[in-house]
Amino acid sequence: MKYTDRKQFLYDPEIFKLSDTQTALVIHAEAVKKFSPKPLPKFMEVDRRSTKYDSLWHVSLDDRTVFSRVLDIPAIITKERPDWRLTKVGIVPQQKHKFWLANLLLQQIDYFPVRGDMVYYDGYRHMIINTVLEPNAFWQQTNVWLGMVCETVIPAEGDARPLINLGTAAPAEIMQTRPLPEV
């Protein structure tokens, strides 16, 4: 999504032009660049122009997800403790991450992350589940926010555990046969 498409996150342009606001935005953007991991996380914007896109769950209904663009964006990443859930396949962790993005950098690349977009980081593909402005992200008493947090989760890859030995067939792949009735 383009940066200016989210009207609720915009603020008075006159406050944005003030020198102390500009200085704060530049200092925050430099700090995010300095402390972001190398290689940078890749933010993959899901193509919402597709006719097969669910606006409620923010997922693509096609066989393959189509990305309109892939952007390398500096971010400060914090990991939370995994939330362990009991499912049909056993106890499965739900790993959550938070990506702190700088306002100035998002403006420069004209991107605003929304639910359903993907982030490739640390060998996993994360899905953005929420985009929020933290209370400590605002510059003094203005409405100008310095950074935002993208809350992500590593989505489950399916209902099956990975096979330990790829040479053996999974139980679902083993053909269940019964002896043929004798005629």
Q: Considering only residues 67 and 40, tell me which one the structure prediction assigns the higher pLDDT.
A: 40
Q: What contacts 24+ positions apart, CB below 8 Å, involve 74-79?
A: 74/32, 74/33, 74/36, 74/40, 74/101, 74/102, 74/105, 75/32, 75/36, 75/40, 75/41, 75/99, 75/100, 75/101, 75/150, 76/32, 76/35, 76/36, 76/100, 77/36, 77/37, 77/41, 77/121
Whether 127 contacts 121, CB under 8 Å:
no
How would residue 73 be classed by pLDDT, with cut points 50, 70 and 90?
very high
Task: Return all residues near 80 (Cβ < 8 A) that are at least 6 apart.
Answer: 95, 96, 97, 98
| Averaged confidence pLDDT in the chain | 78
The tens digit of pLDDT for each residue in 117-173 reads: 889 998 888 889 999 988 888 877 777 888 999 999 887 655 444 445 545 555 555
pLDDT computed for residue 160 by the predictor: 42
pLDDT at 13 over 80: no
Please tell me the distance from the alpha carbon of residue 50 to that of residue 58, in angstroms, as a whole number: 12
Give the Cβ contact number of residue 155 at 10 Å.
Answer: 14
Where is 120: in which H helix or E strand? strand 118-121
Whether 47 contacts 68, CB under 8 Å:
yes
By DSSP bridging, strand 83-87 and strand 53-54 are: unpaired
Mean pLDDT confidence for 15-36: 87
Q: Domain segments of the chain: what residues?
A: 3-153
